Amino acid sequence: QSALTQTASVSGSPGQSITISCTGTSSDVGGYNYVSWYQQHPGKAPKLMIYDVTKRPSGVSNRFSGSKSGNTASLTISGLQAEDEADYYCSSYTSSSTLVFGGGTKLTVL
Amino acid sequence: EVQLVESGGGLVKPGGPLRLSCAASGFTFSNAWMNWVRQAPGKGLEWVGRIKSKTDGGATDYAAPVKGRFTISRDDSKNTLYLQMNSLKTEDTAVYFCTTVLRWATLPRWGQGTLVTVSS
């Protein structure tokens, strides 16, 4: 199972919006609504930000939103803040009953 | 409060075994599906494997790179998850995280991780 494809890096200024994409296949992203997004700050454990494509866990800011079209899922962060600077990973359930992650996207807040 | 605490990491020689543990608290461990996820130094996240709750059959699934070498098990009486790693390779060097699992693919809670270094 190949890793999902994410842009290596993205940047934005405070207050702006950015979108991170996550491309898979019909055997993972396109075939199931089991896409999640995780935020990871350096030296810390990942934190769940979005699950089931669009759902936000309790306590996660509504500045974070998720969507999916075909084999590509997206995470949008609006009103960028300095604390949003982190690595972001998507993941998806697969037709092999496994889980696959994206390669990660480094978000820089300018 | 949900807590997951991994232990057992360390330095091991190629070909050797190592067993990781993950002590769980703050939730009904016996009802939980659990995962192991790893992260090589400076690299991204990689799913290692999953174990279902015993009430859901207790089955395990593994990623291709570890299948046949790693075994996930659980002791519900001790609220503890295990990862038995055999025939370790240098490419298994990583921080290993245990996580809870919801509906197959959502990982809501993560431990702090334990570092495994495979080197001669």
- pLDDT at position A98 over 90: yes
What would the mean pLDDT of B12-25 be, rounded to a whole number?
A: 98
Contact B93, B116 (CB under 8 A): yes
C-alpha pair distances (Å), A63 with each of A75, B23, B100: 10, 33, 25
Say whether residue A58 is in contact with chain B using an 8 A CB cutoff: no
Pick B105 or A65 by higher pLDDT. A65
Joined tokens for residue A17: 């919006």
Q: What share of chain B is helix, strand, coil (3-state, %, to 5)?
A: 10, 50, 40
Distance of alpha carbon B90 from alpha carbon B117, whole angstroms: 8
Give the separation between CA A106 and CA B112, rounded to whole angstroms. Answer: 20
pLDDT band at B104 (very low <50, low <70, confident <90, very high): confident
Task: Quote the mean pLDDT of chain B.
Answer: 97
> At residue A8, what is the residue type?
A
Contact A1 B50 (CB under 8 A): no
Q: Specify the pLDDT at position A16.
A: 97
> CA A5 → CA B2, B79, B95, distances in Å?
32, 36, 22
pLDDT (average), residues A71-93: 98
Q: In chain B, what percentage of residues exceed pLDDT 90?
A: 98
**CA–CA gap between residue B80 and residue A97 (Å, rounded):** 23
> What confidence score (pLDDT) does residue A2 get?
81
| Cα dist from A94 to A12, A37, B17, B54, B114, whole Å | 32, 15, 29, 22, 27
Q: Does residue B10 register a pLDDT over 90?
A: yes
CB pairs under 8 A between A and B: 65
Query: Does position A67 have pLDDT exceeding 90, yes or no?
Result: yes
- Are the beta carbons of B61 and A97 separated by less than 8 Å? yes
The 10s digit of each residue's pLDDT in A5-23 is: 999 999 999 999 999 999 9
Per-residue pLDDT of A36-51, as tens digits, reads 999 999 999 999 999 9
The answer on pLDDT for A1 being more than 90 is no
CB contact A47 to B (< 8 Å): yes
Q: What is the pLDDT of residue B20?
A: 98
Average pLDDT over residues A59-77: 97
- Pick from A34, A57, A100: which is nearest to B104 by CB? A34
- Quickly state the pLDDT bin for B103 (edges 50, 70, 90): confident
Q: What is the mean pLDDT of residues A57-86?
A: 97
